Structure 1
Amino acid sequence: MSLSFPERWTSVILGLNRMVFGLLFACHGAATLFGVLGGPHGGHSPELFAWPSWWAAAIQLVGGALVLVGLGTRPAALLCSGSMAYAYFVVHQPEGLWPLQNGGEPSAMYCWAFLAVAAVGPGAFSLDGLLAGRGGQRQDDPLSATMGRRRTTPVATRD
């Protein structure tokens, strides 16, 4: 059965989106914790283990890095999504009803983006896929087909 163009590229697009979300999120955490890439937002880095600022930045850095490389993708993305939901409802929403009023658009967007990654999985180019013996790609990925690696037999799983 031949797949249409969008169906063939779905896993690749999902994987690329996952990597972009993870990279940007990790950069935000690094900026907050270490004063790099434009420095911490608000002028100073949070004190070690300070709630919630240090923990939020740690989740951004570590969770974003895990999502970027696609390792433990679903739980990491779910944690990232939850942290952004917390940020939106605790920090931004009291300032106004709508994200345009309260400055919470980035929190809302990250929340929904990571929730989507948690729901649909890592897509192509993930360590999760590589460790599962799929080489980080699904069987119907266009890159697998064009590189002559399309599988004709099911992938065996280890017990």
Structure 2
Amino acid sequence: MTTTQTRPTRLDSTPLPVPLKIAAAWTSLMFLYVYVDIYGFFKPGVIDDILNGIVFEFDISATLLTSFLVLLAVPAMMVMLSTTLPARANRVTNLVVAGLYIPVTVFNAVGETWEWAAFYGLSIGLELFLLAAILRWAVTWPRVPTLPASAAIADGHDGRRPSA
């Protein structure tokens, strides 16, 4: 009887492009937003307040619901924008939007009791972790070296399109 030994192989861990990493983080953030809101409905009194026309401390209105839609639409749009914008615009947009969403995320803890500290602490902590990852990837976006003008001319390229 013969036994064959197989050599262990390394798994391929090809690095993902930065836009895909950032889009994945925005997608994860969206899932957390949605699930934290859904799980929040299980808190005693939340459904009763909604049925009585109140969310948090605010009366339910078209303006309030539009504001909620905007708060969720921005990260949803960032998933698409992170994969389609040119690198420079992508980097700047992610830096600005992720930076603006840090205080929005922290605001979710306002008015909560210590009884719910673990729930909101974990959810806000995870959301802040994702926003920090987005900021880090945007700040450390790899740069591609450009040819100096003299090197391009020496190669026969003067930076202009060939004439027809």
Normalising by the residue count of structure 1, what TM-score does the alignment of the two structures yield? 0.46
Instruction: Give the number of the structure whose alpha-carbon radius of gyration is greater.
Output: 2
